[in-house]
């Protein structure tokens, strides 16, 4: 008699599950979809789903940690002679080189996040690591932007990037890079060395 053997656990693809969840969110609305609905659509157990995604909103941020990691490397690879803010802009826009299907998926995600106050409130938390990377980079490249100003500049850049992306998702059918590039150039102007020096309080 053949021995009774347990089958291997089914391997779950997080990206596939996140895409299925996004489709459900778009079709039915974020609040109307439950984790049980997603598990059923993805044909995975509820336990497996929660092991990968602790909350429903986490499904919308799938792939972000890897993207932040790639951004950090792109920032570190910027030539030392490049202006600090130009280097940040180049690293940001370079990280937005998505394949065509991913562009539409990202567009749908951004529309959902931008239209839902609870999801939008998570933006600061989700992008905190990237913001810290930018602040450290600016402080190293631009000693005149010590401490507070580097942190404020990094916060402004992070907010600008996300705002530009949500605007792009709603209003622009092209790739996101030109929109984000244009928005970041406005930040560069505000923190230009000449303007920074002229804004220092005189004693």
Give the model confidence (pLDDT) of 115-172 as tens digits.
898 888 888 888 899 999 999 999 999 888 878 999 999 999 999 999 999 999 999 9
Averaged pLDDT, 81-93 = 94
- Neighbouring residues of 65: CB distance < 8 A, sequence distance ≥ 6: 129
d(CA 75, CA 72) in angstroms, rounded, equals 5
Q: Is the domain of 18 the same as that of 67?
A: no
Q: Is the domain of 40 the same as that of 72?
A: no
CATH of the domain at 46: 1.10.10.60
Task: Identify which of 106, 87, 99 has the alpha carbon closest to the alpha carbon of residue 162.
Answer: 106
Q: What is the pLDDT of residue 56?
A: 93
pLDDT digits (tens, 9 = 90+) for 3-30: 434 444 557 899 999 999 999 999 999 9
CATH of the domain at 194: 1.10.357.10
Q: Is the domain of 22 the same as that of 97?
A: no
The larger pLDDT score, comparing residue 100 to residue 128, is at 128
pLDDT for 2 beyond 50: no
Q: Does 128 fall in a domain? A: yes
Q: Is the domain of 104 the same as that of 118?
A: yes
Q: Are residues 68 and 130 in contact, defined by beta-carbon separation less than 8 angstroms?
A: yes
- Neighbouring residues of 9: CB distance < 8 A, sequence distance ≥ 6: none
Q: Does 7 fall in a domain? A: no
Q: Does 143 fall in a domain? A: yes
Q: Is the domain of 48 the same as that of 68?
A: no
Q: Does 94 fall in a domain? A: yes
pLDDT digits (tens, 9 = 90+) for 26-85: 999 999 999 999 999 999 999 999 999 999 999 998 888 888 888 999 999 999 999 999
Number of domains in the chain: 2
* Distance (Å) of CA 167 to CA 50, 113, 173: 32, 12, 11
pLDDT for 193 beyond 80: no
d(CA 148, CA 82) in angstroms, rounded, equals 22
Exposed, middle or buried, 160 (CB in 10 Å: 0-12/13-18/19+)? middle
Q: Is the domain of 76 the same as that of 126?
A: yes
Q: Are residues 157 and 187 in contact, defined by beta-carbon separation less than 8 angstroms?
A: yes
The larger pLDDT score, comparing residue 203 to residue 72, is at 72
pLDDT class of 195 with cuts at 50, 70, 90: low
What DSSP character marks residue 65? H
Q: Is the domain of 54 the same as that of 141?
A: no
Q: Does 2 fall in a domain? A: no
Q: In this structure, what token pair is assigned to residue 111?
A: 């529309």
The larger pLDDT score, comparing residue 151 to residue 192, is at 151
Q: What is the pLDDT of residue 191?
A: 75
Number of helices (H), then strands (E), belonging to the chain: the values are 12, 0
Structural domain boundaries, residue 28 = 14-58
What DSSP character marks residue 51? H
The residue behind tokens 């990377």 is 133
Averaged pLDDT, 166-181 = 94
Backbone angles phi, psi at 140, to 5 degrees: -75, -45
d(CA 27, CA 77) in angstroms, rounded, equals 41
């Amino acid at each position: 008699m053949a021995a009774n053997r347990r089958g291997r656990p089914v391997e779950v693809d997080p990206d596939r599950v996140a895409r299925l969840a996004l489709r459900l969110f778009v079709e039915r609305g974020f609040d109307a979809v439950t984790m049980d609905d997603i598990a059923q659509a993805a044909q995975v157990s509820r336990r497996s789903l929660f092991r990968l995604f602790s909350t429903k909103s986490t499904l919308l941020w799938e792939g972000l940690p890897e993207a932040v990691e790639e951004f950090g490397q792109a920032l570190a690879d910027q030539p030392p002679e490049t202006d600090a803010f130009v280097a940040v802009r180049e690293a940001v826009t370079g990280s937005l080189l998505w394949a065509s299907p991913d562009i539409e998926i990202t567009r749908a995600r951004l529309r959902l996040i931008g239209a839902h106050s609870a999801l939008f409130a998570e933006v600061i938390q989700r992008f905190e690591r990237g913001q810290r990377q930018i602040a450290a980079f600016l402080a190293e490249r631009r000693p005149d932007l010590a401490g507070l100003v580097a942190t404020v500049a990094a916060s402004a850049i992070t907010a600008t990037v996300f705002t530009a992306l949500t605007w792009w998702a709603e209003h622009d059918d092209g790739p996101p890079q030109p929109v984000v590039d244009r928005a970041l150039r406005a930040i560069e102007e505000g923190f230009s060395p000449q303007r920074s020096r002229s804004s220092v309080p005189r004693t």
